[in-house]
Structure 1
Amino acid sequence: MLSPEFLLTSLIVVLIPGTGVLFTVSTGLTQGRMASVYAALGCTLGIVPHLLATVLGLAAVLHTSALAFEALRVAGVLYLFYVAVATWRDRSAFAVDAQAPHASNSRLVVKAVLLNVLNPKLTLFFLAFLPQFVPAGSAHPLDHLLGLSGVFMAMTFAVFVAYGLLAHAFRRTVIESRTVQDVLRRSFAAAFAGLGLKLALSERS
């Protein structure tokens, strides 16, 4: 069952400007709306290997001791605070190359897939993130993990498409405004820190 906490956390995770968002936004700015959709598709597909590796490993972990799960919970807290600090300090997330050459749709997808497949931080993130939302004592933890993963991927695709389309439509307002970038970045950082604190103070239900 999907919880509001999972949906909110996933949305914030997806919204955080990162490598995939940067690629999708830059594609939308330089190559048009449809190109940004293909870029978003490739970035989403690039998550699959990380999710599969994480899900298959966590299915066994969730059947072990409470200490093992507590270790994952602590890892989740540390990761959320790490992302909050990194997001607050980052000043290049929305920088784009206006001179980027055009590419075919298939090449855009392949490039986007490789972009995320070669990002080792994704596996670490899902290892710390997904277990927090699996019900205690679940008879089918693997099913829950796969379901959560599917929802996360669908959300990723939808948000990335929106990023690409909005970047194409509102270049001056968003991409070229340092003030808007700073407000977005600090809001995301504060939200991550708040979620990390909430997770640190909570117990698995």
Structure 2
Amino acid sequence: MSLAFLITTLIAVATPGTGVLYTLSAGLAHGRKASVIAAFGCTLGIVPHVLATVTGLAALLHASALAFEIVKYLGVAYLVYLAWSTLRDRSELVVDTAVAPASARKVVVSAVLINLLNPKLTIFFVAFLPQFATGFGQMVTLSAVFMALTFVVFAVYGVFAASMRDRVLARPRVMVWLRRFFAASFAALGVKLALT
């Protein structure tokens, strides 16, 4: 494993995207535990992309414009849905850690769908991994490193957001604007994906 691979992977993972936004949102809305669960779900959502890359299905997706467009627009639809549901959410956020506003299952499913329906990940793995991997075993190892870095970086983002909850939740007006920001960000990422 080269230093170039680690640096490139870290840059790719740390650059905010839909997974980071979702993890930040989970941390602010539901606390540290939810943010770590969201980071885990986003990492789990990478597994199908890794499997597709390792088995060669990603090359088929890359070669078939129709298959790519279907996955792309499913991703766009899900981001628009996230934007809409975030904007419509009027539930009170509770700082008490004994109260869990969202189930772990719901957080994981949403996080997995975010990355599962992200065709950029598949393209990233198709274009990126072959430059560093010479065989099946090395491809699996590098994919595992990518996933581990994803989990750690996303969890750090989420735990940081969760640590800001008390300050943010003390001001209901700030929460209204944060919800609008996250909704607008999900919508903007959906539009960006649609135009890619």
Q: TM-score range by the shorter chain?
A: 0.5 to 0.7
Shift of 1:115: 4.1
Taking a change above 3 Å as real, the CA distance of residues 163 and 148 of structure 1, as seen in their structure-2 partners, is: same
TM-score by length of 1: 0.61
The 8 Å contact of residues 82 and 186 in structure 2, kept in 1 or not, is answered as: yes
Residue 155 of structure 1 corresponds to: 153
Q: Does residue 75 of structure 2 align to residue 58 of structure 1? A: no
Q: Among residues 52, 62, 73, which one is paired with 1:78 in the alignment?
A: 73
CA–CA distance in structure 2, aligned partners of residues 102 and 189 of structure 1: 32
* CA deviation map 1:52-95 (0-9, x unaligned): 45533431025x7x443334643442244224422442224574
Q: Name the one with the larger helix percent.
A: 2
Residue 98 of structure 2 corresponds to: 102
CA–CA distance in structure 1, aligned partners of residues 10 and 191 of structure 2: 18
Report the AA paired with residue 165 of structure 2: A
Report the AA paired with residue 142 of structure 1: V
Taking a change above 3 Å as real, the CA distance of residues 175 and 156 of structure 1, as seen in their structure-2 partners, is: farther
* CA deviation map 1:160-202 (0-9, x unaligned): 112211222221446754244223421342134224423xxxx
In structure 2, stretches of 5+ residues that fail to align are: none
* CA deviation map 1:125-181 (0-9, x unaligned): 336342211226813443443333223222220121122112222214467542442
Taking a change above 3 Å as real, the CA distance of residues 146 and 155 of structure 1, as seen in their structure-2 partners, is: same
The 8 Å contact of residues 80 and 192 in structure 1, kept in 2 or not, is answered as: yes
RMSD: 3.9
- Residue identity over aligned pairs, in percent, reads 12
TM-score by length of 2: 0.63
In structure 1, stretches of 5+ residues that fail to align are: 29-35, 199-205
